[in-house]
Structure 1
Amino acid sequence: MTQSQLSDAAMERRVLRKLDLHILPPLALLWLCNFIDRSNIGNAKIVGLTADTHLVGNQFNVALSVFYVSYILVEVPSNLVMKHMKPARWLCILVFAWGGVTTLTCLVHNFAGLVLIRLALGFCEGGLLPGIILYLSTIYKPHELQLRVGLFYASASLSGAFGGLLATGILNMDGVGNLAGWRWIFALEGLATVVSSLIAACFLPSTLAEAKFLSEEERQFALHRFHSVEGAPRRESPEVSVEQGEGEKGSVVEAESATPDEPTRFMDEHFEMGEVIRGLTDFQAWVTAISYLGLIVSLYSFSLFLPTIVADLGYSGKVAELRTVPPYVPATVLTVVVAYVSDRLKWRGPFILICLPLAIESHVGYIISIAAKTNELRYAATFLIATGIYPCGPCILSILPNNGSGYYKRSTTIALQLAVANAGGFVAVNIYTPDQVKTFYRKGHAIVLGFLILSWIMAAVNVFVPFSGSIVHSSENLRRLYCVRENKAREKGLRQGNIAAYDELVRSGKTKAPIGDRHPDFRFTL
């Protein structure tokens, strides 16, 4: 290694360290608040919410369901708006708003009020996760992404533990100010979220170019490394020019264009509805969305109903709250470990295929929960459930940022994936119903097990099954294998015609968007 390469490596380590220290903690804080504010209703339920709001039958489940109606509706629009509002500012506005809504939940007195407050909470929270994933993809290179997603995502599993501990502590305020303990849970956790949004706003830069914690030299290096790709020719301008050379299938004229993997500087791309449509019809977005939907059913139902399930195992009050903490600890550790190894190997889907069986071990997890004869075994099963599902989230969330290029296509696919996936929330909140208490929620566990198997199958489809590009494009696209075979075809030069096709779109005025993931030099991450 030359002295120059050593110097670049040292600079890269320094820049990455500064980015991590200034960006990941605020994002982890926001995501921690997100999961606490979303799942605290589960903690509140077992300490008086249902009685004080006079809920009967499945009204609690209905109140949880309406949250996902508004949550899903705002995900795609939020990502499209974020570019114009500045990413960091927009994320903090969302968090500030839902913190206020969470605080107001302490004033709810009946079913109608609870439904309205959950509906408002969904509108505020819906844009956060797709926004965070898109934001990180404008800061880090593709195969640095999952570790960073894993680190802040681990705070979700940590929130399950922290939420239980926090709720236990807050319950000591029961009766203070004539407010029940569950009302104080919402009041204090909501105020903490508002404060967290203000703290994050002080640290998060909207773009690399606005990262004031970097020196001018570090900022230029960070921009340069972001717009460069391992093994790809370096080009400097955001403009892409394409020519059809004599005797060639098509070639990129390096009129100072950006690299194939990152063909445009995100914040310079102009809105084009065609790119949104290209994102909405992307086959991989739909396959990974269904896979994530299967995972979401397990993830959400676990975080929302673990306190209830633990309580029904014979524990109550503060003891039940404390018993919700331990299952999240191994899940948090494994989430970070898998994210690190995944980035090192540049794998996404294979780790989903490896980790999900731990929860489908739910044949040692859910199936033990279904067949177990003792409460100790049923409680032990919750550890395997958490350990199997939490590490898979960052894997799925990192696939589309790695495999899509261009701001508006990428923002659309990320938001679409999460909008479809979060439809699993409707299932998650309705599978553990009060009538299942005597059977230890066997029906609910069996339904979740089915969705986990669906998730595993769709993850395998994404890696191996024959589809590529738009789900409405030509039959030629439908004959391609998505990741494995498509990468092999590009390595053999069989996709050079993509350049000529893109050139025609530009010449005919149908697009000004970058060539992006259509470029034959672009490689899909498994």
Structure 2
Amino acid sequence: MDKVPSRTSTDPEKNVDASSLGSDQQPIVNDQLERVVWRKLDVWVLPIVSLFYLLSFLDRTNIGNAKVAGLMKDLKMTPQQYSIALTVTYVPYIVAELPSNLLLKIVGPSLMLPTMLTLWGIVTACQGTVKTYGGLLACRFFLGLLEGGVFPGLVLYLSFFYPRLRLQTRISAFFSAASISGAFGGIMAYGIVKLNGKSGHSGWQWIFIIEGVITIFVGLVSFFLMPDSPDHARFLNAEEKSYIKAKLKEDGAIAGDEADSFSWGEVAKGFLSPHVLIVGIVFFFSGVVLYSLAYFTPSIVQSLGYTAAKAQLMSVPPFSVAFVLSMVAAWISDRYQCRGAVTVFCSLLCIAGFGMFLGSTNHHVQYGSLFLAIPGTYAMAPAISTWNANNAAPHVRRATAIAIGFIMTNSGGILATWLLGALSPPPRYTKATKILLIFSVFMGFFSAINVFYLRAENKKKAERRKTITRQEEEPGLGDKSAWFVYSL
């Protein structure tokens, strides 16, 4: 590895907590490289990842726009059948998440992720040609199977490039694509449905066909754009590659070939880590709230008295606010290292939003409540995703923890498909709103519990550091090491 100069810096983002370093180590800082390497990654890696997730979320949730545009009428579907179609997506989605994450490093992100993107684009386009409910179910199954590894895979992929202290801003940047997809999808659907009847296809069919073709194109192009790791990034020189790897090792994001090699024991440790399980509970409740709003916001807006076309447009502003809040919350969370506080704050926004929707019959107030609930849940998702990734090491344990989080999220998604569909009919969605309100309270409660647990663990680690040297500690402990400081 090239020698990298070390010195202190006044930029708190550049200074790693000294407790995470050995007594014989100083934080590695090169001001010139700091200004260059992260900017290069943000220009070359982050836009691809963001586009992947935008298309993933758009292709999974555009069925909500298609529903408003006439999907259920043309396929003669009942609300129960619509919920079943959504549920069918999540079963293979959940099954695929852990194997996909464990295979990502072995197969290589530059091959695995673009292949998944291209194939699910084909499936999305095929949804626009189905004539029967059974055909729709088949497409939703394969869509879930191919998309299952995307979000956990992208979080894991970013951890190959960015240290823990820089990760949430980047995860928020690509996850904000989900809120953009909510806004963008509404605008696109508003325009696309005007193609109703063209070439014998209904407006809702054109939504799937056009958005699927866009995904296929991006998938094919991305084969030539995605580097597997800093070592394979053509836009970095040797010194920049060495600096990034040094920062990742210093931060505990990577350990070394032996520690980062596959081990079933590390998979088991991921499942047995208390903080992973606590955050997993938050992931579940967050998944219920997130996907309830992702799938049903156009229907909720339509139930407030807007026409089907206007409902597509009126769903855009809350998602636009969600994008802004996600980025602001990410900056605060990275700047002050307060993942838990951000998740609690976001849960309070959700509580306020659902409380407003439940407590008022005024349609303007109910519509206004979406400007709290949607930004709250969309800003929380990157915070807990980063929190989970930050606090698991080495690689296989982190891959497992990330997969567990998204398995829980999408398990919540299954419940979401029924809450605002068959179980709680419009226009009031009373039962669903009460459940989402209670779950929002649980999100904040368990986030607070995790903060207290991690703070207690960090105190124990600090006491252990007083009695042993880094050389005396058993190797391969990962996040259980006395020198690994949990992110709060």
Match of 1:430 among 394, 402, 418: 418
With over 3 angstroms needed to count, the CA separation of the structure-2 counterparts of 1:501 and 1:300, relative to structure 1, is: farther
Taking only aligned residues, the RMSD between alpha carbons, in angstroms, comes to 2.2
1:125 equivalent among 129, 147, 153: 147
**SS of match in other structure, 1:429:** helix
Q: Match for 2:262 among 268, 271, 294?
A: 271
Question: For 2:257 and 2:289, how far apart are their aligned partners in 1?
Answer: 34
| Residue correspondences, number | 465
Corresponding residue of 1:281? 272
Structure 2 residues not aligned, in runs of 5+: 10-28
Aligned to 1:358: 349
Q: What is the aligned partner in structure 2 of residue 367 from structure 1? A: 355
Q: Does 1:484 align with 2:455?
A: yes
The separation in 2 between residues aligned to 1:435 and 1:271, in whole angstroms, is 43
Q: Secondary structure at the match of 2:224?
A: helix
Give yes or no for the alignment of 1:522 onto 2:484.
Answer: yes
Post-superposition CA distance 1:23-72 (Å, at most 9, x none) = 11111111110111011000000111101111124110111111111110
Change in 2 beyond 3 A, CA 1:268/1:501:
closer
Deviates more, 1:219-228 or 1:287-296: 219-228
In structure 2, distance between residues paired with 1:351 and 1:3: 32
| Structure 1 residues 304-319: aligned runs within 5 Å | 304-319=295-310
Give the superposition deviation at 1:118. 0.8
Q: Does structure 1 residue 290 correspond to structure 2 residue 252?
A: no
After superposition, where does 1:485-500 map in structure 2 within 5 Å?
485-493=456-464
Shift of the alpha carbon at 1:498? 11
Q: Give the gaps of 5 or more residues in structure 1.
A: 230-260, 465-481, 507-513
Confirm or deny: 8 A CA contact 1:34 1:125 kept in the other structure. Answer: yes
Pair 1:392-2:380 in alignment: yes
User: What amino acid is the match of 2:234?
Assistant: K
Greater share of helix: 2
> Structure 1 length as normaliser, TM-score?
0.84
Contact between 2:280 and 2:404, CA under 8 Å: does it hold in 1? yes
Shift of 1:114: 1.5
- Structure 1 residue 448 corresponds to structure 2 residue 436: yes
Q: Distance in 2 between matches of 1:499 and 1:8?
A: 25
Q: Deviations over 1:331-367 (max 9, x none)?
A: 1101001101111111211111122101111xxx212
Aligned 8 A contact 1:106 1:187 in 2 = yes
State the TM-score, normalizing by the size of structure 2: 0.91
- Give 1:374 deviation, angstroms: 1.7
Provide the C-alpha distance between the structure 2 equivalents of 1:36 and 1:397, rounded to a whole number of angstroms. 19
Quickly say closer, same or farther: Cα 1:438–1:97, change in 2 above 3 A. Answer: closer
Quote the residue 2:118 is aligned against: 96
Find out whether 1:333 has 2:320 as its counterpart: no
Change (3 A) 1:3 1:444: closer
Contact 2:108–2:228 under 8 Å retained in 1: yes
Give the match for residue 52 of structure 1. Answer: 74
Which of 151, 165, 170 is the aligned partner of 2:187?
A: 165
Is the 2:184–2:316 contact (alpha carbons within 8 Å) kept by the matching residues of 1?
Answer: yes
Is the counterpart of residue 185 in structure 1 residue 176 in structure 2? no
**Residues 239-263 of structure 1: CA distance to partner in whole angstroms, max 9, x if unpaired?**
xxxxxxxxxxxxxxxxxxxxxx246
* Other-structure match for 1:320: 311
Per-residue Cα deviation, 1:446-481 (whole angstroms, up to 9, x for no partner): 1111111111111111111xxxxxxxxxxxxxxxxx
Q: Is the 8 A contact 1:154 1:336 kept in 2?
A: yes
Conservation of the 8 A alpha-carbon contact between 2:164 and 2:253: no
The residue number in structure 2 matching 1:154 is: 176
Distance 1:108 1:497 in 2: 65
Q: Which is higher, the Rg of structure 1 or of structure 2?
A: 1
Query: What pairs up with 1:158-307 in 2 under 5 angstroms?
Result: 158-229=180-251, 261-262=252-253, 264-265=255-256, 269-307=260-298
Structure-1 separation of matches of 2:48 and 2:366: 36
Aligned-partner Cα distance in 1 for 2:38–2:124: 35
Alignment check: 8 A CA contact 1:262 1:516 kept? no
The match for 2:340 is: 349
